[in-house]
Amino acid sequence: MKKIIKMREMADNQEGIIAGVSARGEMGRRIREMGLVPHTPIQIRGRAPLKDPVAVRVRDFILTLRNNEADHIQVEVEVPDPPARG
Amino acid sequence: MKRKLTIALSGNPNAGKTTVFNAITGSRQHIANYPGVTVEKKFGTVRHRGREIEVVDLPGTYSLTAYSLEEIVAREFLVNEKPDLVVDIVDASNLDRNLYLAVQFMELGIPLIIALNMVDVAESRGIRVDAAELERLLGVPVVPMVARSKQGIEALLDKILETADNNPGWRPAVLSYGMDIDQGIARIEEIIEQSEVYDRKYPARWRALKCIEGDRQILDLLKKDPERGERIRSICAHTSKHIIDTLQDDPEGLVADHRYGYIAGITKKVVKRKIESRLNQSDKIDQVLTNRILGPVIMLVILYLIYLFTFTVSEGPVGWLEIAFARLKEAVAAILPEGPIQSLVVSGIIDGVGGVLGFVPLIMFMFFAIAIMEDSGYMARVAYMLDRILRWFGLHGNSVIALIVSGGISGGCAVPGCMATRTLRNPKERIATLLVVPFMNCGAKLPVYAVLIAAFFSGDKPRMMFLLTLLSWGFALFAAKAIRSTVLRGPKTPFVMELPPYRMPTLRGLVIHTWERTWQYIKKAGTVILGISILLWAMMSYPGLSEEKARQFQESRNAAMQDLLENPHIKGWIPEGEGIMELSGLYESFSRAAKEKDQRALARLRRSPLTALVEAAYFLETGHSTGRVPDPDLLRAAGSLVRFREEMRRLDALEQQAALQGSIAGRIGRKMEAVTGILGFDYRINVALIGGFAAKEVVISTLGTAYSLGEIGAAEGGSLSKRLREDPEWNPLVAFTFLVFIMLYVPCFVTVVSIRKESSWRWACFSIAFNLVAAYTVALLVYQVGRLLSLGTG
Ligand SMILES: Nc1nc2c(ncn2[C@@H]2O[C@H](COP(=O)(O)OP(=O)(O)OP(=O)(O)O)[C@@H](O)[C@H]2O)c(=O)[nH]1
Ligand SMILES: [Mg+2]
C-alpha cells in the first residue's frame, strides 16, 4: 500500500514519488527549481558520513540536500505490509 | 542586417557554457566540473563567415528569479543590453531540469537557440534526445553538440547567423499556470500596459508573472507608480491568498509545478530511454567514494597522497630555483660595485622576489592536484561529506574548496582561495569563509616553518607539519564559529546542490586551471612584492649608522688589524707590504676551491707564499685537511689569524645590528616590543613580521638580514636555522609561538586586496584587525602557558 512520509524518513535506496513540497520562500524556490515538484519520481542514493546531507536521484541527476530541507518534502512511498489499525 | 552580433551564453551551472565559450572564442576561461564556477560575465569575440560575433559567458543559473546575484546579473544583462540572441546550453543528459531555464527564456521572449550539449554523456546512459522533435515542440532552434570535443560548434555558429538574420524580435511564449494565476497575470498585464510610467524593458506579461511569483520586480513597479503599484499588489495578495486557501500552496510553487508539468509533457515525447541500467558509472563510483565509512577514510588518504605528491615532486624544482637565485645573486654581486645599489638589488629585489618565485613549483603542483579533484567531480563529494561538520561552524560544504586552495593541505595561496569562495551563495557564509581563509598554511608560510622546524624541532618535521596543519584548520573553524555567532550571525543557506557526475578531466582543462591560480601567485611577486621588498629594504637600511658610530666600528677594526700585524707569531708569515685585505680575499678563494675540491685552483693559489698560512687557518676553522700538514709554528700563527677573523665577524655583526636598530624599521620594531615583549618577540622578529605583511615569504629574508648573515651568505638555507638556534633570545617555545603567530596574523597584502575585491574595504580591514587579535591572543596564551610550564626553555 502507499503512504506519504517525509523525505528525511526514507531509507537509503528507497524510491518514491514526490507528493508535495511545503517549503516556502528561498528554500522552496531552490528545491523546486531543481525539479523537486509533485509527481517527480525520486530515489535516495545515500547519506553523508554524519547522516546529513542526503543525496537523492531526481530525474537524471543527483541532488544533495540537508535533512532540515528534506523535512519539507513529502514523498509517496510503497510500504509492504499495511500498518495495523485499531 | 546588423554587422556585429552579440550573443549571450546561458544555461544551468555545469552545463558546459564555458566549454562552449572557449570552443567558440578560442579563449581560456576557467572550466571545472563543479557547479557555479563562472560568476562574472566574460566577453570574447569570434569571426564566422565574415561576421563578427561578440559572445558573453553568463553565470550559470537554474532559474531567472531574482534571488541570487548570478541570476540578477544574467537577467539584467538580457534586458538592459538586449543581446541579439541567447544561446541556452542545455545538458542533454539532464533534460528536464535544463529545460526549466529554457522555458523561462521563452517566457521572457528573447530570441533563443538551444544548444543541446553533452549528447555523448546522454548516449552513454542510454538516453536519446530527438533534437528535431524538440525543436518542433518548443518552436526554438535546437543544435545538438558535444562541446568538449568541439562537435557541433560550427553548426551552432551557422544557426546563430541564420536565426539572427531572420530578425526574430522578442516573442514571449505564453504558458498556462492554472485559472487563478492566469487571471491574475492578465489583470496585472493590462495595468502595466496602460501605464505611461513603466519602462518597456521587460515584456508586460513577464513582469506580471514575476509579480505573482513575488519577485522584487513588484517593488520596482510600486516605486515608479505608487497608485497602480498598489493595485497590482492587491491583485497579487488576493491571488496568493486564494491559492493558499484552496490549494495549500503558494503561487511561486504553483508556477514552478506548472512549468515542470509543461516540460514533462515535452520530454515524454522527445526522450527515448533504452532499458536503463539502474546504476550508471558515476553511481557505482559514488557507492565507494561517498560510502559512509569508506568515504571519509578514502578522502583522508587522497588528501594525504596529494600532500605527498606535491612535496615530493616539487622538491627537485624548488631546489633548482633556489640554486638559480643564489647564482644570480653571486653574479649580480660580482658585477655591481659594493654599495647601496648592490645591496638594493641583491637583498631588496632578488631576495624578495626570489623568495616568492622559488615556491612556484610547489604551488603549481598543489593546484594541479586540486584541479584534478575539481574537474573530476570529486571536490563536490568532499563538500557533500564535510557539509555537516562545516555547518556546525557556521560555514557551508562549499567553503572547503576555498580552504583547500588556500593551503588546507599545506601549500596553496589565499588569493585564488578568496576567488574560490564565489561558489558560496550566502553572503554571510561567504564572508566568514573569506575571513578564515588566511589562516590556512599557504605556500608562503612553508619556508618560515621549514627554517624554524629545522632550527628547533629538527627530529620532528613531518609531525610538526601535521600539527601545524591541524592547528590551522582548528583555528579557522573555531574562528568561523566565533564570527558566525557574532558579527555575521544569520541563517544557514540551503545545501540544495547538484552532485555532478564524475568526468575524466581533460589535460587542457587541468592546465588552464592550474595556470590560472599559479599565475595569481606569481603576479604578486612582480608587483606588490617587488615594491614592498624595495620599501622594506630601504626601511631596514636607512638612515644607517651615524658617522660617529661608523667611525667607532672602523677604529675597532683598525685596532684588531694592528693587533694581528703586531702579533709575534704571525709577524714572520706576512711579508712587508702585504695587506690584511689580501689575506681575507685569499681565504675566500681558498675555501671555495677547497669546498669544490678544485685541485687546479688550489695548486694555483698555493703559488702565493701567503697561502700556507691561509691553508692552516682553514684547517683550524673547519677541521678539514687539504693535504698539507702544518707545523706547530704555522699553526700558532694560523690560530691568531682565526681569532682575528672571528673578531672581524663579530664586529660586522654588531655593526649590522646597530645599523638595523637605528634604521626606520628597527625603530618601529623597538616600539613594538612594548606589545610583543610578552610574546617573547624582540625587535628583529617584529621587523620580520612587518615584512611579512607584504608577503609571508619576506619573513625569512628579513630575519636573515636582521640576524646579520651578510647579504650573500643568506642563500645557504641551513645557516639561518643555525644562527637562530644559537641566539640566546630564541628557544623552542619562542619558535613555536612565532610559528603560531605567523600562521594567524594579518593576511598578506595581496590577500587583503583580494578580500576587498570579493567583499568590501570594511571587511578587508576587519580581516586585518581580526587576524591580528586572534594571532596575538593565541600566541600570548601559548607563550605564557608555555613559560609557566617552563616548556622549551630547558
Ligand atoms: N562529456 C562531456 N563533457 C562536457 C561537455 N561539455 C562540457 N563538459 C564538461 O562539463 C564540465 C562543466 O563545464 P563548464 O564549461 O565549466 O560548465 P559551465 O556551464 O561553464 O559551469 P559554471 O561556470 O559552473 O556554471 C567540465 O568538466 C567540462 O569538461 C560535453 O559536451 N561532453
Ligand atoms: Mg563556467
d(CA B251, CA B266): 23
- What is the per-residue pLDDT for B509? 84
Contact B44, B17 (CB under 8 A): no
Q: Are strands B51-57 and B42-48 parallel, antiparallel or unpaired?
A: antiparallel
B332 vs B387: CA distance, rounded Å: 52
- Specify the 3-state DSSP secondary structure of B697: helix
Q: Which ligand is nearest to the CA of B61?
A: 1
The pLDDT assigned to B569 comes to: 72
Instruction: Provide the b/e sequence for B367-397 (b: ≥16 CB within 10 Å).
Output: bbbbbbbbbbbbbbbbbbbbbbebbebbbbb
CB–CB contact B495 A66 (8 Å)? yes
Cβ proximity of B437 and B748 under 8 Å: no
Distance (angstroms) between ligand 1 centre and the Cα of B118 equals 8
Q: What is the CA radius of gyration of chain A?
A: 13
Straight-line distance from the first to the last Cα atom of chain B, in angstroms, rounded to the nearest whole number = 85
Instruction: Yes or no: say if A76 and A3 are a contact pair by the CB < 8 Å rule.
Output: yes
User: Nearest Cβ partner of B496 from A39, A51, A69?
Assistant: A69
Grid cell locating B95: 533534460
| Strand A73-78 versus strand B51-57 pairing type | unpaired
Q: Which residue has the cell 647601496?
A: B340
In order of B340, B544, B545, B653, the CA distances from B548 in angstroms are 20, 11, 8, 18
Work out how many CB contacts closer than 8 A connect A with B. Answer: 132
- C-alpha distance from A82 to closest chain B C-alpha (Å): 27
The answer to whether the Cβ–Cβ distance between A65 and B494 falls below 8 Å is yes
CB-count burial class (<10 Å; 0-12, 13-18, 19+) for B663? buried
Q: B63 vs A33: CB contact, 8 Å cut-off?
A: yes
State residue B737's pLDDT score: 93
Q: Does B96 touch chain A (CB under 8 A)?
A: yes
Half-sphere exposure of B673 (CA within 13 A, CB side): 11
Chain A residue at shortest CA distance from B496 = A65
Does the beta carbon of B509 lie inside 6 Å of ligand 1? yes
Answer yes or no: is pLDDT of A26 > 70. yes
CB contact under 8 Å between B497 and A32, yes or no, is no
Which residue among B12, B14, B282 has the greatest number of ligand 1 atoms within 8 angstroms of its CB, and so is best to mutate? B14
Separation between Cα atoms, residue B255 and residue B100, nearest integer Å: 11
Pairwise CA distance, residues A21 & A74, whole Å:
6
Asked whether residue A85 is domain-assigned, the answer is no
Q: How many angstroms away from the CA of A34 is the closest CA of chain B?
A: 6
Q: How far apart are CA B85 and CA B162, in angstroms?
A: 11
DSSP letters for B233-289? HHHHHHHHHHHHHHHSS-HHHHHHHHHHHHHHHHHHHHEEE-S--SS-HHHHHHHHH
pLDDT score of B279: 63
**DSSP-assigned beta bridge partners for residue A46:** A55
Record the cell numbers describing residue B388, joined without a space: 555537516
Alpha helices in B90-195 (DSSP H): 95-108, 119-124, 131-138, 153-165, 179-194
Enumerate the domain spans of chain B: 4-166, 179-273, 547-657
Positive or negative torsion for Cα B483, B488, B490, B492? negative
Atom 11 of ligand 1, nearest CA residue: B33
- The residues that bridge with A20 in the sheet, in sequence order, are A74
For chain B, give the number of residues. Answer: 794
Is there an atom of ligand 1 within 6 Å of B18 CB?
A: yes
Give the Cα separation of B510 and B520 in Å (integer). Answer: 16
Q: Minimal Cα–Cα distance from A63 to chain B, Å?
A: 5
Give the SS3 label for residue B170: coil
Q: What is the DSSP string of B582-647?
A: HHHHHHHHHHHHHHTT-HHHHHHHTTSTTHHHHHHHHHHHH----SPPPPHHHHHHHHHHHHHHHH
Q: Is the CB of B38 under 6 A from ligand 1?
A: yes
DSSP A52: -
B673, B677, B679, B683 alpha-carbon torsion, rounded to 10°: 40
User: Among candidates B763, B736, B739, which has minimal Cα distance to B752?
Assistant: B763
- The ligand 1 atom at the shortest distance from the C-alpha of residue B506 is 29
Q: Which of B735, B738, B736, B756 is nearest to B747 (CA)?
A: B756
Count CA atoms closer than 13 A to A61's CA, side-chain side.
26
Residue B35 Cβ contacting ligand 1 at under 6 Å: yes
Residue at A84 is within a domain: no
Distance B504 CA to ligand 1 centre (A): 11
Phi/psi of residue B291, nearest 5 degrees: -55, 145
Query: B157-176 as b/e, with b when 16 or more CB fall inside 10 Å?
Result: bebbeebbeeeeeeebbebe
Q: Is residue A46 one of the residues assigned to a domain?
A: yes
pLDDT of residue B710: 45
CA distances from B266 to A22, A48, B98, B370, B666 (A): 26, 35, 13, 40, 75
Contacts of B249 in chain A (CB under 8 A): 20
* Model pLDDT, residue B31: 62
- Which amino acid is present at B634? L
Let me know if domain B4-166 sits in CATH 3.40.50.300: yes
The interface pTM score, or ipTM, of the predicted complex is 0.91
Integer-rounded Cα Rg, in Å, for chain B is 34
Question: Domain containing A29: what range?
Answer: 2-78
Neighbours of B91 (CB within 10 A): 25
Q: Which among B750, B701, B756, B742 has a CA at the least distance from the CA of B519?
A: B750
Residue B649 neighbours by CB distance under 10 Å: 12
Asked whether residue A15 is assigned to any structural domain, the reply reads: yes
Is residue A8 situated within a structural domain?
yes
CATH number at A33 reads: 2.30.30.90
The x, y and z cell numbers of residue A64, run together, are 544533495
CA-nearest of B334, B624, B250 to A24 is B250
For residue B118, the SS3 value is: coil
Q: Tell me how crowded residue B242 is: count the other CB atoms within 10 A of its CB.
A: 15
3-state class percentages of chain A: helix first, strand second, coil last, to nearest 5: 20, 40, 40
Ligand 1, pocket-test mutation among B20, B27, B31, most atoms within 8 A of CB: B31
Between strands B142-144 and B112-117, the pairing is parallel
Beta bridge partners of A17: A41, A76
Ligand 1 atom at minimum distance from B20 CA: 15
Cell numbers given for A76: 509517496
Residues in a beta bridge with B146: B151
- Atom 27 of ligand 1, nearest CA residue: B33
Query: What is the distance in A from the centroid of ligand 1 to the CA of B44?
Result: 18
Nearest-Cα residue of chain A relative to residue B381:
A48
In a domain, A64, yes or no: yes
* Residue of B93, B248, B256 with shortest CB distance to A32: B256
CB B8 near ligand 1, within 6 Å: no
Domain B179-273, classified CATH 2.40.40.20, yes or no: no
Nearest Cα to Cα of residue B782 among B437, B441, B467, B482: B467
Residues B129 and B126: their CA atoms lie apart, in Å, by 10
pLDDT of res. B1: 53
Nine cell digits for residue B352: 624578495
Q: Is the CB of B263 within 6 Å of ligand 1?
A: no
Q: How far apart are CA B274 and CA B122, in angstroms?
A: 11
Mean pLDDT per 10-residue run, chain B (794 residues)?
80 89 78 60 82 86 78 81 91 93 92 94 89 92 93 92 82 83 85 75 83 75 73 81 79 88 92 72 88 92 90 86 84 81 79 76 89 91 93 91 90 86 84 94 87 84 88 94 90 82 88 86 75 80 81 85 76 66 78 80 79 80 73 79 81 79 86 88 87 79 67 46 81 91 88 87 92 93 89 60
CA atoms of A24 and B153, how far apart (whole Å): 41
pLDDT tens string B197-229: 777 778 888 888 888 887 776 667 667 777 777
B748's grid cell? 598578506
CB within 8 Å: A28 and B100: no
Counted domains in chain A: 1
> Is A6 part of a structural domain of the chain?
yes
